[in-house]
Structure 1
Amino acid sequence: MRSKTSQGLLLFAIFIVALNLRPAITSIGPMLNIIRDDLLLSNTQVSLLTVIPVICMGVFAMLAPILNKAIGLNKTMYWMLLLLAVATGMRYSVTSFSVLLLTAFISGVAIAVIGPLLSALIKQYFPMHVAVVVGIYSFGMGMGATLSTGLTGVFYVKVHSYSFALAVWAVIAILGIIAWAVTAAHPIEVKQITEQPAQKRKNPWRSKQAWSFLIFFGLQTALFFSVLTYLVPIAVSHGMTLLQAGTLLSGMTIVQIFMNIGFPIVLQKFASRTPALVVILALGIVSIGLMWTADPLWFAIGVLVMGIPLGGLFPICLLMPMDATDTAEETNSWTAMMQTGGFIIGGILPLLIASLYDYTENHYVTLFVFLVLFVAMLVLALQIGRSAKQSS
């Protein structure tokens, strides 16, 4: 048992590490046009800087249980945070597109491993408060994304260097290493239950429920990154200025952050996650309807409402494998499996949306794709809810 002090330090470390799981990706967005013009890139080339890390987060998620078993949680976390710091810091000396691609790849690998390990850690050390700690975890991620999308442009204006604006986020990776060193002074690990017979372990790759989690996670990831990428262009196509669209995006991310921390706390009060999940997905469909109107006020309200599902879906995705598994080791493998396929789906779908827009030059098509994603998740949520009842 860890003392209350060491538990508090662990919570703080989880929050600081979670801050690092989005800036390497989301800081690129505000600088996309500037990078494209400086390095003479096409739109397709520059979009790879956000697509590659998301796909890497899927392809390399299964490294998490492997590295945990091989070298332990502490060493794995140190190495991944160090890789993240180095990759982000390398952007200070950007001389070519290939350097940026390399940093995107390394960042994606590091984030891919950290995510499942944090989920397993929460399952093991906070079994009675999983939803609240997941809220802190997702709040940290949301805060990291918001800070990087909001401040990267400010850093660029102040220093007139996109290299500096991108590299400065290495600082929070260094803070993550320090925070982990402090909490790791007390023993910390995700136990491998070697005495459990292999045939009794829940193999996620053979579970229909785990595959449902994977697809659901992939759809919500695709929605999250697509909305962050295309919201400003959609708003501009509705007649807003770039400044108005940016302000609206900031408002949506504030709603999202409150949902990151608040929604998991609300979920603790319910025996089933399904009703709350259905409600926020229905609100997502309503938000698309409001954004579909040409009226600026209704569009703005729709964008703010969109922050509710964007903020609530990720923490509930983290809770799904925790609810379905019995041990931290199983949670690690189920989360890794879910994120493996989910992030690949989440990386590919935004590219398809971009291709559709190139073909149609109509952002109502983009909104329709968002609607399809919400409807598909709603169907999956009901199916997952039925599966949970049958297994309980």
Structure 2
Amino acid sequence: MGRGGRAGVVIAVVLLAANLRPAVVAVSPMLSDVRADTGLSSPAAALLTTIPVLCFGLLAPFAPMLARRIGLVPALVAVLCAMTIGGLLRLPEPVVLLFAGTAVFGVAIAAGNVLLPVLVKREFPDRAGTMTGVYSISLSTGAAIAAGTSVPLLLLLDHAWRPALALWALPPAVALLAWLPLLARDRSVAAPAVTEDQWTPLWRAPLAWAVTGFMGLQSLVYYATVAWLPEILIASGSTQERAGYALSVFNLVGIAGSLIFTLTVGRTRNQTGYALSSAVLYATGFGGLLTGHLDFLWAALLGLAQGTTISLALALILLRMPDAAHAARMSGMAQGIGYLLAASGPVLAGAVHDASGGWSWPLLLLGALLVPMAAAGAVAGRDVTLRSPTTIGVRS
């Protein structure tokens, strides 16, 4: 591929990655308005951020099948089309369509989550770690834009939260323009077929389970934080607008975490340090939220942690696998099982809040989950790679 062709792929990857989080992140700053208008309970409202994560888990293993059937680029184009439809479904008044649109978004994002790393492995096999950092930055940027503009947009529309949510159908429609040239030149299926004999050892490999565990636990902590950080800050005395800005800080600083990872991952063969340091940052941020002061500082520390962990989780899928075929299967396994685990985060935190009457116990629970997250990251971060398809060991 020529330099111009690679640049086109990078642009397309960046634009698609930037659309993989706003549909979820944009909801949490508006939860107060949604609940006031619809009468939803805390756990029911949390489903608006949990349904996509459930889709990520339940449908992730099927994404490689879609790519094998219609091709990787056509599958990713379909992802953007589905995102546009999902956004428009959230505009009509019936609450059921709000959940239906959210589910369509979840289905689309599930496929995008799994297949985008495969595209990176196929197109940039020599720079997989760096390119993972690039689209991780795009993930954080898209989330930050959504978090930072949701409340001002809501105020501009006089608290009309339905059109405020539906407007997120526009960015994926724009991103389609960058993908159409790739669709025209796509010449092969991006996720090569992997036989069952090759698939079975992946499930038996401790390394694969370590990657999956880290993906799931960091996602659980992230989505629980995204869902409830504004509510936690409002309960501590912040205004809705300030809480929305703090969520934006959380996501903006996540860009810095992804950028640091991108600039440094190529210099080290062992990624254990990223897992341990991000766990410490998360713990410090949660501890700070318990004090009820310096909300922007704690949001920034949490953002630095989440930017590092998502970059690391995505990079491990590629760095621990020998080729794009195994990366596709590892992506489906890690994100399928991992996001099913993550889906419990927002609902569990909301349920613990309702039971305890405050946010201290939910924060302590998330802090406790950092221990197994760091342990899984330490194992998966070692400089090892899955061996040949017929074995279950690892090699240096």
- The reply to whether TM is greater than 0.5 is yes
Match for 1:391 among 379, 392, 395?
395
Partner in structure 1 of residue 156 of structure 2: 158
Aligned residues between the structures: 387
- CA 1:357–1:269 in structure 2 vs 1: closer, same or farther (change >3 Å)? same
What are the residue-to-residue correspondences of 1:351-366 with 2, within 5 Å?
Answer: 351-366=347-362
What are the residue-to-residue correspondences of 1:1-392 with 2, within 5 Å?
Answer: 2-92=1-91, 94-160=92-158, 161-187=160-186, 189-191=188-190, 193=192, 199=197, 203-294=201-292, 296-297=293-294, 300-385=296-381, 388=384, 391-392=395-396
**Aligned counterparts of 2:184 and 2:284: Cα–Cα separation in 1:** 48
**Aligned counterparts of 2:34 and 2:233: Cα–Cα separation in 1:** 22
1:189 CA displacement: 4.1
Q: Give 3-state SS (helix, strand or coil) of 2:343's partner.
A: helix
Q: Give 3-state SS (helix, strand or coil) of 2:270's partner.
A: coil
What is the letter of the counterpart of residue 395 of structure 2? S
Q: Give 3-state SS (helix, strand or coil) of 2:60's partner.
A: coil
Confirm or deny: 8 A CA contact 1:135 1:315 kept in the other structure. Answer: yes
**Aligned counterparts of 1:197 and 1:37: Cα–Cα separation in 2:** 51
What is the letter of the counterpart of residue 126 of structure 1? F
Confirm or deny: 8 A CA contact 1:256 1:310 kept in the other structure. Answer: yes
1:47 CA displacement: 2.1
**Aligned counterparts of 2:161 and 2:97: Cα–Cα separation in 1:** 14
Q: Tell me, which stretches of 5 or more residues in structure 1 are unaligned?
A: none
Confirm or deny: 8 A CA contact 2:80 2:175 kept in the other structure. Answer: yes
Deviations along 1:112-164, one digit per CA (max 9) or x if unpaired, are 11111110110111112112211221111111111112212222222332221
CA RMSD of aligned residues (A): 2.2
**Aligned counterparts of 1:288 and 1:322: Cα–Cα separation in 2:** 30
Confirm or deny: 8 A CA contact 1:190 1:329 kept in the other structure. Answer: no
Range that drifts further, 209-218 or 155-164:
155-164
Confirm or deny: 8 A CA contact 2:274 2:308 kept in the other structure. Answer: no
1:221 CA displacement: 0.8
TM-score under structure 2 length normalisation: 0.91
Seq. identity, %: 26
- CA 1:289–1:11 in structure 2 vs 1: closer, same or farther (change >3 Å)? same
Q: Tell me, which stretches of 5 or more residues in structure 2 are unaligned?
A: 386-393
Deviations along 1:54-112, one digit per CA (max 9) or x if unpaired, are 101110011211011111112212222111111111222x2211111111111111111
**Aligned counterparts of 1:203 and 1:176: Cα–Cα separation in 2:** 37
- CA 1:198–1:53 in structure 2 vs 1: closer, same or farther (change >3 Å)? closer
Q: Give 3-state SS (helix, strand or coil) of 1:127's partner.
A: coil
Confirm or deny: 8 A CA contact 2:147 2:245 kept in the other structure. Answer: no
1:226 CA displacement: 1.1
What is the letter of the counterpart of residue 211 of structure 2? F
Structure 1 runs (4+) deviating above 6 angstroms are: none
1:207 CA displacement: 2.0
TM-score under structure 1 length normalisation: 0.92
**Aligned counterparts of 1:120 and 1:384: Cα–Cα separation in 2:** 19
Confirm or deny: 8 A CA contact 2:28 2:230 kept in the other structure. Answer: no
